[in-house]
Amino acid sequence: MAKIQEMTQLSPTMEEGTIVKWLKQEGDSISPGDILAEVETDKAVMEMEAYDSGVILKIIQGEGTKLKVGEALAVIGKPGEDISALLANLPKPKPSGGAEQTSAKSFPSPSASIDPGDSKKGMVSGVGETKTSSTETKISPSSQNLVPASNSPNQGQTAASLPTAERTNGTSSQQRGTLRVLASPLAKSIAIEHGIDLHLVIGTGPEGRITKKDVLDSLNKGTGGMRVGSEVPVADEIVNLNGMRKTIAKRLTESKQNLPHFYLNVDVNAKALESFRKEINEFQVSQNPNSPIKVSLNDIIVKATAAALKLHPKVNASFQGDSILQFGRVDVGIAVSIDGGLLTPVIRDANKKSILQISSEVKELAKKARDRKLKPEEFTNGTFTISNLGMYGISRFTAIINEPESAILAVGSVEDKPVVENGVVIPGRILSLTLSCDHRVIDGAVGAEFLKTLRSFLEKPNLLLAVG
């Protein structure tokens, strides 16, 4: 009997997926475990396996289609089997994210310019589109002259009778949204040719109508609002949310709403840390001149954090409703920025690994993350997360906790700052760390003790050689 192959949930947070590529075609024989297609989830491009044996009788959804988990992808059955009734009873897939179908036209730009290409269409663009005579040009609310529309509070006034400030640059955007320009066709044509904003031209014709002479006078006097650079402003753009961005928005909003965050900050004297890193890298170059493993400050921070977590299990924990789970393992997630969002590949048992092992693993996982090739087991079930923006020159910041974890460490840049040693002010190299804590799990003193230990490891990194 023919069966439906559904969009399967390939990761714990997956709600929908996009078919990137079909690896099997109609008529192909398959067995459980065969890879049917590559599917882009909210985290990565992953392989979708078959769960039934048979022949692919029908591919229902083609490449590029986005479907929710559980929706039909294909029909698998015996060769020659009649599947017409099965196909007829399939529910039609609902479009994912109705907002994605919304045209940008529903959200007009607040300041579109005179467009000569639309002058024959007889339309005035703005909040809603109004038909006008064929001589009027498409002009946005922010580039129309100051004659009120019928619903304006100044109804009955002409541009000439309005206060001078309202007829020039002083006009508010709210007033412009309800006013349209009065100008002769020739005046509009000249304005279009020279990129003049008719809002800034004072009309001397009947009822304040702008004439050719008014435009030429403004042009000669330089008071016509000549635009600098491009005559057409950049239009607003609607960027539809991809699956990853939707997940980020949902989970971080929930974290910020549900977790009582509090923050602890500490400055670390990073001179010894930088020297320690330099010594490691110089040694690596001497041992492997062709392919040395270069260690970053972040690799050492990961090792130091893992060592501190092992000594402070109350920070390496998770809130479980009516209990607190203290993890026996130390799995540290590393926030990695990728196109369209971020992922947190996890270094398993980071406290048991050397700095060189951590460095190699971070590089490998970061590359897989940017290529969207991470497997679920490589980015889920972490116990703690580190987010480092120091490479962007960020001094310090606060991060949002990645549930179900109870803390996240925000790492800033190393900066030159004066420090006091033995009562003397000397140049220093300072690294700022900020710990975000879930107060349901971690009290202030607990978080402070953890940071104290972490700072000791970073200011005396040789201590890391003594911990495992």
Q: How remote is the C-alpha of 290 from its chain's centroid?
A: 38
Catalytic positions, please? 439
Q: Distance between CA 466 and CA 404 in Å, rounded?
A: 31
The torsion angle over the Cα atoms of residues 373, 378, 384 and 386, rounded to 10 degrees, is -30
DSSP 389: -
∠ CA 16-19-22, rounded to 5°: 145
Based on DSSP, count helices (H) and strands (E) in the chain, helices before strands: 10, 22
Retrieve residue 375's tokens: 């497997």
∠ CA 48-51-57, rounded to 5°: 85
Q: Is residue 314 a contact partner of residue 442, using CB atoms and an 8 Å limit?
A: yes
Q: How remote is the C-alpha of 424 from its chain's centroid?
A: 45
Q: Is residue 210 a contact partner of residue 187, using CB atoms and an 8 Å limit?
A: yes
Q: Classify the phi-psi angles of 7: left when phi > 0, otherwise alpha if psi is within -120 to 50, otherwise beta.
A: beta
